[in-house]
Structure 1
Amino acid sequence: MFMGASTKQGYDIAEKSREIVKSLIDDKTGHLTSKERAIVERIVHSTADPEYAEITRISGNFVQESLKSIRNEEDILTDINMVKVGINRYKGKVKCYIKDEKAVKIAKEYGITRASAAMRVAALEGFEGIVAIGNAPTALLEVLDLVQKGEMDVKSVIGVPVGFVGAAESKKALQETELPYLATEGPKGGTPVAVAAVNALINLDLGKV
C-alpha cells in the first residue's frame, strides 16, 4: 500500500505516481538511506514539489529514534488539528492542544500565540514522544525552549512550519540542536509535509514502504 491506495485503480495510480517521483528525485537523494528516501519520496508525492528532495534535512538519528518512539506507541504531538487528522493508522495517541482551554488561558496571560501555549500545555500534561510542527514557527521555538529547560521529553521533531515570518529561522534553530530532526529549509513546509513525514514513518514501522 502506498499513499492510502486501497483499490486496484488507486494502487495503479499510486504506483505510477511513485515511478514519476523517483525519476524526478533519484539524482538528488543518493546520499540518503533507503528509509530516509522513502520519507522524502512521500513528501514529494504529497506536495507534487520535487524541490523538497533538495531542501529536506534529516539528522542521522532521526529515523531510528522516531521508529523507536512509534514502536513504543508514544504520543505524537501536532501544532494544529489539520496535521492531527491527517495522521492515520497509528496505534498510539495523536494529540493537539491548540483548542484546549488551558492553551487559550496561557496565550492570553503571557501574550504568546496559542500554538506556542499549546506546547506548554503538552509539557504540563507530561508529553513524551514525537513532535510534528507543520504551521507555527512559534510552536517549534517553544518546543526547543521547553526541551532546553528540561520540561519536555521529545524523542524527535518534524519541524516544517511554513511561511515568510519566522519559519526559516525556527527550522535553522532546530537543526542547531542535538534533537533528532526532519526539517525543511527556507519558507516552504506546511500541513502536507508534516503529515507525509509522520505517515511515512508509520508505514516504515508497519513494513509497508
Structure 2
Amino acid sequence: MSENNDSGKATISMGASTKQGYEIAEKSREIVKSLINAKTKDLTPEEQSIVERIVHSTADPDYADITRISKNFVTESLRAIDQEKDILTDINMVKTGINSYSGRVDCYIRDERAVKIAKKEGITRAAAAIRVAAQEGFDGIVAVGNAPTALLEVLELHKTGEIKLNSVIGVPVGFVGAAESKQALKQTEIPYIITEGPKGGTPIAVATVNSLINLNKGNKA
C-alpha cells in the first residue's frame, strides 16, 4: 500500500493501514535504509525501493548483497503493471501475498491439467503449472519464489517461444537447484531480479511484486 505525503509524492507504507502502523513502517524504513544505504548507493531510486522492501520483509540486510537486478527489469515490469498484464506465480502463497493489483494474478499449481501433466511427464506440479499458463496464452510478469523447476520451465518455454514475458522475478529458495536456476535466468536476455545462492522464498517474491505495484502508483501520483 502507499500513501501521499504533503508534497504529493507516494511513500511506501509497507502494508500499514493505521496511524500507528504508518509510524512503525516509517521507523522500520529508516532502520533498513541505515543498514543498507552503502550497499545500494549504485542502484536507481526504484531499485533501492525494491531492495529496501525485501530487507524490510525479511529483516535480513544480507539481501542487499545478494540481490541482482537487470538494467531493464524495473522499466519492463512497470510497463507491464501499468498495462495491467497478468502476473503468474509458482505457488498460491505468493499469489495470496500480492495486493492492490487491478490486473489478474494467476497460479495453476492446483489446476487439474497441471496435475495430469505432472503425472504423465514425471515433472513437478510447479513446472507443469507453468506449461498450463503458457497454454492459456500467458503474457506478463512471472514471480517464482519457491520452485526452481518452475523457473527452469519458464526459461525453456521462453526459449521455444511458447510463453511471453515482460520480466521474471526469479527468487526460488533451497539447496537443490535454486542457485543454478537463478544463474540460468541471469544468462538470458529476460529482464530479471534474482537473489544469488540458496536464499529466496515467498516473502522475496511478494515484496518485489508489491514494491513494483507501489512504484507504479507513485508514478501516477
Structure 2 length-normalised TM:
0.94
* SS of equivalent to 1:186: coil
Partner Cα distance (1:32, 1:182) in 2? 13
Partner Cα distance (1:92, 1:112) in 2? 29
One-letter identity of the residue aligned with 1:121:
V
1:52 to 2:63 alignment: yes
One-letter identity of the residue aligned with 1:142:
E
Per-residue deviation, 1:4: 1.1
Identity of aligned residues (%): 74
Partner Cα distance (1:207, 1:86) in 2? 20
Q: Which residue of 2 aligns with 1:201?
A: 212
| Superposed CA offset, 1:134-185 (max 9, x none) | 0000000000000000000011000000000000000000000000000000
* SS of equivalent to 2:209: helix
| Superposed CA offset, 1:36-92 (max 9, x none) | 000000000000000000100000000000000000100000000000000000010
Q: Which residue of 1 aligns with 2:132?
A: 121
* SS of equivalent to 2:140: strand
One-letter identity of the residue aligned with 1:91:
S
* SS of equivalent to 2:204: helix
One-letter identity of the residue aligned with 1:108:
K
Partner Cα distance (2:146, 2:17) in 1? 29
Partner Cα distance (1:146, 1:31) in 2? 33
1:104 to 2:112 alignment: no
Q: Which residue of 1 aligns with 2:88?
A: 77
Partner Cα distance (1:181, 1:194) in 2? 12
One-letter identity of the residue aligned with 2:42:
H
Q: Which residue of 162, 174, 188 maps to 2:199?
A: 188
1:28 to 2:39 alignment: yes
One-letter identity of the residue aligned with 1:11:
Y
Q: Which residue of 1 aligns with 2:51?
A: 40
One-letter identity of the residue aligned with 1:202:
I
Unaligned runs of 5+ in 2: 3-12
* SS of equivalent to 2:146: coil
Q: Which residue of 154, 161, 165 maps to 2:165?
A: 154
| Superposed CA offset, 1:2-23 (max 9, x none) | 1111111000000000000000
Partner Cα distance (1:88, 1:107) in 2? 29
Question: Hey, which bits of structure 1, 4+ residues long, moved more than 4 A?
Answer: none
Unaligned runs of 5+ in 1: none
Per-residue deviation, 1:34: 0.2
CA RMSD of aligned residues (A): 1.0
One-letter identity of the residue aligned with 2:84:
E
One-letter identity of the residue aligned with 2:206:
V
One-letter identity of the residue aligned with 1:114:
R
Partner Cα distance (1:71, 1:9) in 2? 31
Residue pairs, 1:4-15, within 5 angstroms: 4-15=15-26
